[in-house]
Amino acid sequence: MDYFNFKDGNLYAEDVKVEDLAKKYGTPLYIYSKATLERHYRAFEHALNRIPHLVCYSVKSNSNLAVLNLMAKLGAGFDVVSEGELRRVIAAGGDPKKTVFSGVGKTDDELEFALVNGIRCINAESSAEVEAIKRVAKRLGLKAPVALRINPDVDARTLPAISTGLKNNKFGIATDEAYELYLEMNKDPNLNVQGIDCHIGSQMTSSVPILEAADVIIPFYEKLLKAGIKIGHIDLGGGLGVTYDNELPPSPDDFFDGICERFKKLDCELYIEPGRAMVANAGILAAKVIYKKRNGEKRFLVTDGAMNDLIRPALYNAHMTIVNAKVRPQDEENCCDVVGPICESDDFLGKDRILAAEQGDILAVRGAGAYGSSMSSNYNSRRLSCELLVDGDKVSVIRRRQKFEEMWELENIPE
């Protein structure tokens, strides 16, 4: 559920008309709803309230400081995958002590930054990374909090590009190898074994895969216990899907029900790392129709929003719902592709949509709060767009539109 609804034929973000925002702040424009973000966070807290837990919001899905600050105020921890993301968390008032650090390629510098800032746990993904953590921790004279990311060889049954828990993926460590590594890590003076980590994929629309993963991880946890290694937390990652089209993902309550039942029997905290389910439907991308055109049989709506603003359709052929912010009568005649101005045939926001629109109309791509702005770029020297946070009838600019000169201010023409 979100707070982008139609009233009298016009799309509203909470209490504000999307068309008015587009007029005032320009397009393309990301608009987020604060009430939706809060609602989603509370739904996760509610789902896990039966067991000791920590919700670590996955920063990569939407890393705007205002979003991170809101999450921190609600009590969230964070999941980061780079020094940049950890610096964002700190800049937004988040707590590194509630932050876990994931990713297959952490550098020594990144590990040092995380350790010096008191990271809660480093989720290591290879024996080579464990060596690096030991080396850095020894140099700093401290004990690094660590978990190993287990690759449980479970199919998340989602898009191949966002499946991460199969044994041939680059992620995690197989259980046999991980067991030997835990025995070694447990003896190391510079490591503090904290947890077991796992993340099998994104946009899951059923709880079956995550239960399958839990049924690999929990026996592994018990095996470590038997070997005298006490694990304080199990991190099951993110991955709960959202409705982009006609998917029917479970609610957080339903998604985590079986997990909570299993955890009730363990003396172990549960961490989760939700990204998409927290922010996707809390955001839209508003774009203006610049031209209508027709080539042969094909109709196009050319908008000022493009693949540099929102790359999910082009990159994954992902379907995202597009609506006109002003309701217009429509029929099959209105079937069209919604495309951007970028010089690539894959620059589209939607294909074969029944969508009536006139030049100047504002379209809204729904579900754009996650992996939208955070994956945007300057391709075709297009500026990063403006981002707004709406709270009732209050509107805050949480990122102003980039200035043209800012796109080349790092560049230099040699003498």
Q: Which is nearer to ligand LLP, 14 or 103 (CB)?
A: 103
Closest approach of Cβ 241 to ligand LLP, in Å? 7
Burial of 219 (0-12, 13-18, 19+ CB in 10 A): exposed
Greatest Cα pair distance, the chain, in angstroms, is: 71
If one asks whether residue 324 binds ligand LLP (CB under 6 A), the answer comes out as no
Separation of alpha carbons 81 and 102, rounded Å: 5
Closest approach of Cβ 47 to ligand LLP, in Å? 13
Beta bridge partner(s), residue 399: 387
Closest approach of Cβ 300 to ligand LLP, in Å? 24
Integer CA distances (angstroms), 8 to 2, 177, 328, 388, in order = 18, 60, 12, 23
Closest approach of Cβ 324 to ligand LLP, in Å? 24
Residues 14, 33 contacting (CB under 8 angstroms):
yes
Angle at 93 between CA 54 and CA 276, to 5 degrees: 50
Separation of alpha carbons 173 and 283, rounded Å: 35
Among 175, 202, 205, 385, binds ligand LLP (CB under 6 A): 202
User: Nearest residue to ligand LLP, using CB?
Assistant: 238
* DSSP code per residue over 221-267: HHHHHHTT----EEE----B---SSS--PPPHHHHHHHHHHHHHTSS
If one asks whether residue 304 binds ligand LLP (CB under 6 A), the answer comes out as no
Among 152, 165, 209, 238, binds ligand LLP (CB under 6 A): 238
If one asks whether residue 283 binds ligand LLP (CB under 6 A), the answer comes out as no
> Between β-strands 283-295 and 29-33, what pairing exists: parallel, antiparallel or unpaired?
antiparallel
Q: Catalytic: 343?
A: yes
Residues 62, 277 contacting (CB under 8 angstroms):
no
If one asks whether residue 41 binds ligand LLP (CB under 6 A), the answer comes out as no
Integer CA distances (angstroms), 129 to 11, 109, 172, 332, in order = 49, 13, 11, 55
Closest approach of Cβ 291 to ligand LLP, in Å? 28
Residues 290, 303 contacting (CB under 8 angstroms):
yes
Site string for ligand LLP, 110-149 (x = CB under 6 A): ----------------------------------------
Among 2, 14, 19, 79, binds ligand LLP (CB under 6 A): 79
Q: Which is nearer to ligand LLP, 82 or 190 (CB)?
A: 82
If one asks whether residue 326 binds ligand LLP (CB under 6 A), the answer comes out as no
Q: Which is nearer to ligand LLP, 58 or 281 (CB)?
A: 58
If one asks whether residue 276 binds ligand LLP (CB under 6 A), the answer comes out as yes
Site string for ligand LLP, 256-275 (x = CB under 6 A): -----------------xxx
Site string for ligand LLP, 364-383 (x = CB under 6 A): -------x------------
**How many residues bind ligand LLP, per CB under 6 A?**
20
Residues 302, 357 contacting (CB under 8 angstroms):
no
Site string for ligand LLP, 181-200 (x = CB under 6 A): ------------------x-
Closest approach of Cβ 412 to ligand LLP, in Å? 32
Closest approach of Cβ 201 to ligand LLP, in Å? 7
- Please identify which of the residues 121, 198, 260, 343 carries the catalytic annotation: 343
Stretches 113-121, 238-246, 325-333, 376-384: which one binds ligand LLP (CB under 6 A)? 238-246
The residues, ordered by sequence, that sit 6+ positions from 288 with a Cβ below 8 Å of its Cβ are 22, 27, 28, 303, 304, 305, 360, 361, 362, 363
Distance of CA 284 to the CA centre of its chain: 15
Give 152's Cβ-side CA count (13 Å radius): 26
Separation of alpha carbons 352 and 338, rounded Å: 8
Residues 278, 242 contacting (CB under 8 angstroms):
no
**Catalytically active residues, by annotation:** 343
Where along the sequence are the contacts to ligand LLP (CB under 6 A)?
58, 61, 79, 102, 162, 199, 202-203, 237-240, 273-277, 312, 316, 371
